[in-house]
Amino acid sequence: MPTKHSPTRDKFFHFRLTQADIDQINRNAAQAGMRPGVFVRELALSGGNMRITSRVDESAVFELRRLGAMLKNLYPKNATNWTNEEKRRHWDAMKAVLEHADRLGAGQE
């Protein structure tokens, strides 16, 4: 039974596609977390201006930040036996993990 929030969708709109088109629509819909029919309808009705925000697993962001913090804590207090290259690689890896977590948390990926 339709509610006032969801109109009855009882009409079909048909158009032809190649298999490559269908595959691309399915990939884009999956990336947006939508069913293909809903994705195409929303995109068409928005005039191509649909804003898609990807879903981010907050626990994955938390784990990336935790890994970055662990890398920071693993840096030896007395790193005199490390070469400058080893030190640089360690800090670059830590910064990369934390920056990636920040981008994911901000919804940029």
pLDDT at 55: 62
Q: How far apart are CA 9 and CA 29, in angstroms?
A: 20
For the cut 70, the answer to whether the pLDDT of residue 56 exceeds it is no
For the cut 70, the answer to whether the pLDDT of residue 2 exceeds it is no
Neighbours of 56 (CB within 10 A): 15
Q: How far apart are CA 102 and CA 64, in angstroms?
A: 9
Q: How confident is the model at residue 20 (pLDDT cuts 50, 70, 90)?
A: very high
pLDDT at 109: 46
